[in-house]
Each structure stands twice: as C-alpha cells, then as structure tokens.
Amino acid sequence: MDTLTVDDVAEQPTRIIHDVEKGEIALVTKEGRPLFVAVPVDEKLIELGLPWRLRSGSTNRRR
C-alpha cells in the first residue's frame, strides 16, 4: 500500500492511477489523517459486494 499526502496527489496526480493499475491500494492523508483510499476494482472486490452501479461502469449520479 502506498501512502500519499494531498500535496503528493496535487504534485503527482498520476501516482494514484499507477498504484491502482498495479493492483495496489493508495491511502491519501491530509494533515496526517487518512482522507480516502483508492482501491482497484477487481473480481475480489466485486465478490465482496461492490455496489452494482460502480461495477457496471455507470457514472451517472442523481442530483
């Protein structure tokens, strides 16, 4: 797992993408606290119950 700060993400936004493409999890922190996790979507995640809307590739959101 890679840990990045929000400043790291601002300076190197593709770093998260590269981690996830390699199947790794990326934890992003702000002021030393976890902010969010970028997780690759794979069969195991789907088996664990990834919501249908995400696994179908739908990006439409209700407003």
Q: What is the pTM of this model?
A: 0.70
Q: So what's the pLDDT on residue 33?
A: 97
Starting from the edge strand earliest in sequence, which strands make up the sheet with 33-38, in order? 2-5, 26-30, 33-38
> pLDDT (tens digit, 9 = 90+) per residue, 23-49?
999 999 999 999 999 988 888 877 877
23 by DSSP, 3-state: which? coil
Query: Domain 2-55 is in which class?
Result: alpha beta
Q: Mean pLDDT score of the chain, rounded to an integer?
A: 85
Q: So what's the pLDDT on residue 63?
A: 45
User: Distance between CA 22 and CA 30 in Å, rounded?
Assistant: 24
> What are the structural domain ranges in the chain?
2-55
